[in-house]
Amino acid sequence: MFLLVSVLSLTGISTGTTLSAIGRGLTWAGARALWMGEWLLGQARVLGQNLLKWTRVAAKQAVKGLVRLRDSVVSIGVWRERRARRTRVQELREPESFFEDDAREVEVEDAPEEIAAEEPERALAKIPRKLRAGEGPDIVDHDEEREKTRKPEQETFRFHDGGATGPFQLPENTLFSLPPESTRSYDRDSLLMNSKILEKKLADFGVTGRVVRVHPGPVITMYEFEPAAGIKVNRIVGLTDDLAMALRAISIRIIAPLPGKSVVGIEVPNPDRETVYFREMIDSDSYRKSKGKLAVAMGKDIFGNPVTSDLAKMPHLLVAGSTGTGKSVFLNSLLCSLLCRATPDELKLLMVDPKMLELSIYDGIPHLIADVVTSPKRAATALQGVVRKMEERYRMMSATGVRNIDQFNEKARKSMAEGEEFFTLKPKPGQTEGDEVEWQTLAYIVVVIDELADLMMSAAKEVEESLQRLAQMARASGIHLVLATQRPSVDVLTGVIKANFPARVSFQVSSGTDSRTILDQKGADDLLGMGDMLFLPPGTAVLQRLHGSFVTEDEVHDLVALLKGQGRPVFDQDLVRADAEAEKIESRGEDVDEMFDQAVAIVAETRNASISYVQRRLKIGYNRAARIVEQMEADGMIGPQVGSKGREVFMPSPISDDE
């Protein structure tokens, strides 16, 4: 440094200027080096990702090669194994082909022993064509197909929502457990063997044909059977029990024919079924790319593909199934799907749980519009409150000239952005001017009823009327219903309810009659239980078999705790008042007559509280009128009976109030 300063002083150049120039040069060089390092790091990351991708592709190709090698080895040694198991071969030997006019195939017993010791090419050539590996039905690997079409995952971010209830953080997918590392691989030999058994057993009953394609899935395997010319499909359906016995299966389901195909589908349970985890569903493309706020992760289809449906398009869902078949787990996964996607400003929930066990766990989350209802009497009142809420929303949409909740919310956001605060409703009958209402977006309301049978036993008329009105009209106002029952009888699922619930889900039921009650066709009685279900989408009569996702109680508790930590629920005041009135009526006793309020109005107006008078006015029996009058006396509305004098009426007269 001293030498540099001396040289600069001799040349007359300013030391400060030179050092400043040197510093700028070093800064530029450092910046370039840093940029080069970041570029190299990015290239290394891309190279690593490509290497990982190429390694996976190479591994899959290696596995396929090993499978082909194994099939070749098995085909070469098949003759010795067949000679040792001659009796089994005789049972499974395929009948004469009805699709080819070739000569009769070589009998297995007549195959020379020297074939297995010959060269592989000659040995394989001497094996009958239909017994060679790969010459049987086409086995479709849906996992491989999904892997080919899967796009690389992109990193996603969760943003806070500054709504009316304040900032809200949507739950992360990491809240739910990942499924264990799966090494599922189907046994090709078993699938081919089952195909032969199906063909042989059907041929024994005169139903000739062949299995052309096999679809292994996570829970069941579907065999596509192509019947020969002249075979009636109904004959195959009638052999369900015989095929189940031949395959040693719990139960099988036959779809005759498969929609859009000239084959019959035979669904056979796998010996070892997989568990469909909820984390798999919310990580799937079908759920993440769904644009609706009410997207529901239904489960996986028989091929293992995730299925997501929008509750707003259903628009109501009917769920039925026997006890222990997975109905409650499905409701939990449905609610978790909604809660992971919508904020309290976008979604409100009304839960009715007469059993007080399943839905009470969600009590206190900010999405609730009222406390979880556990009393059937209060449930009827709550449903009537939802009907009033629907009518109020229709008045608002009519005043603003929109047709559904999405259009109303879009117009509300636009009006608030332009500075408008209020809009005017159309006047009611008797009003000269309509009320002014503040602009605000409307949230979807989902009503979940866990056990409809309990409500129908206690307040069937009121519940059915409210459900009918909501099911017929509530779709445009953003109100949707989810009804569940474990007793699918005609007195619970009445014709009025079924007619307004086009989307239905059925788990395993005990009989074909119950299946027809739910789905209007058989099939639910052949399900396996534990989340195995049939889904009837709206607007179609074609059933879709799904396997529901499994969500644990600990995961639900963690989700509820996370939601509770972000705020308390903001209840709807109209529903709260209606619930309070219902609770007051309920506290008077469970046997309050439905005509009690009408009798109170008559007594208050006429000032006559005699039993015979109430009996004549209401046109009811004497004993019923006596119970009503005694209830009024117990509530302090009228005085006791003293001799022959009439009862004193303590209630104010409505006529005097008007005056």
Q: What is the tens place of the pLDDT at every residue in 93-133?
A: 444 443 444 434 434 344 444 433 444 444 434 434 444 44
3-17, 252-266, 335-349, 353-367: segment of lowest average pLDDT: 3-17
Q: State how far the Cα of 304 lies from the Cα of 627, in Å rounded to an integer.
A: 61
Cis amide bond preceding 376, omega within 30:
no
What are the backbone dihedrals phi and psi of residue 301, each rounded to the nearest 5 degrees, phi first? -80, -175
61-70, 290-299, 415-424: segment of lowest average pLDDT: 61-70
pLDDT at 601 over 70: yes
Q: State how far the Cα of 368 lies from the Cα of 142, in Å rounded to an integer.
A: 40
Residue 325 DSSP class: S
Residue 353 near residue 360 (C-beta atoms within 8 A)? yes
What are the backbone dihedrals phi and psi of residue 528, each rounded to the nearest 5 degrees, phi first? -100, -15
pLDDT at 104: 41
Banded pLDDT at 578 (limits 50, 70, 90): low
pLDDT at 208: 92
Mean pLDDT within 266-275: 90
pLDDT at 27: 86
Q: State how far the Cα of 177 lies from the Cα of 189, in Å rounded to an integer.
A: 34
Choice between 122 and 290, residue whose per-residue pLDDT is larger: 290
pLDDT at 315 over 80: yes
96-110, 292-306, 345-359: segment of lowest average pLDDT: 96-110
Q: State how far the Cα of 381 lies from the Cα of 424, in Å rounded to an integer.
A: 29
Q: Is 401 left (phi over 0), alpha (psi -120 to 50) or beta?
A: left
223-227, 304-308, 415-419, 459-463: segment of lowest average pLDDT: 459-463
Banded pLDDT at 283 (limits 50, 70, 90): very high
Please state, in angstroms and as integers, the Cα–Cα distance from residue 218 to each residue in 138, 300, 328, 363, following that order.
18, 9, 21, 35
pLDDT at 551 over 90: yes
Mean pLDDT within 491-501: 82
Mean pLDDT within 447-470: 86
pLDDT at 428: 76
pLDDT at 407: 93
Choice between 200 and 75, residue whose per-residue pLDDT is larger: 200
pLDDT at 659 over 60: no
For 5-56, the pLDDT digits (tens) are 565 565 555 667 777 878 888 888 888 888 888 888 888 888 888 888 888 8
pLDDT at 338 over 80: yes
Banded pLDDT at 211 (limits 50, 70, 90): very high
pLDDT at 423 over 60: yes
pLDDT at 105: 42
pLDDT at 2: 55
Nearest to 585 by CA among 288, 289, 377: 377
Cβ neighbours of residue 141 closer than 8 Å, sequence gap 6 or more: 186, 216
Choice between 251 and 106, residue whose per-residue pLDDT is larger: 251
For 634-652, the pLDDT digits (tens) are 888 888 888 777 888 888 7
Please state, in angstroms and as integers, the Cα–Cα distance from residue 399 to each residue in 36, 99, 224, 422, 426, following that order.
63, 69, 56, 12, 6
Choice between 617 and 576, residue whose per-residue pLDDT is larger: 617
Mean pLDDT within 232-246: 91
Parallel, antiparallel, or unpaired: how do β-strands 138-139 and 209-216 relate?
parallel
Nearest to 399 by CA among 415, 432, 423, 422: 423
Banded pLDDT at 157 (limits 50, 70, 90): very low
pLDDT at 637: 85
Burial code (b: 16+ CB inside 10 Å, e: under 16) for 594-631 equals: ebbeebbebbbeeeebebebbbeebebeeebbebbbeb
Mean pLDDT within 360-372: 92
- Out of 78-92, 146-160, 377-391, 548-562, the most confident range is 548-562
Residue 653 near residue 607 (C-beta atoms within 8 A)? yes
pLDDT at 586: 56
CA triple 422-424-428, angle to 5 deg:
145
pLDDT at 151 over 60: no
Domains of the chain by start residue, with CATH: 188-269 (3.30.980.40), 315-342+349-574 (3.40.50.300), 588-658 (1.10.10.10)
Mean pLDDT within 207-230: 92
Cis amide bond preceding 257, omega within 30:
yes
Mean pLDDT within 308-322: 93
Q: State how far the Cα of 393 lies from the Cα of 374, in Å rounded to an integer.
A: 26
Mean pLDDT within 300-309: 92
Banded pLDDT at 477 (limits 50, 70, 90): very high
pLDDT at 205: 92
123-132, 223-232, 371-380, 449-458: segment of lowest average pLDDT: 123-132
pLDDT at 103: 37
What mean pLDDT value characterizes the chain? 81
Residue 653 DSSP class: P
pLDDT at 591: 60
Cβ neighbours of residue 24 closer than 8 Å, sequence gap 6 or more: none
Mean pLDDT within 250-267: 90
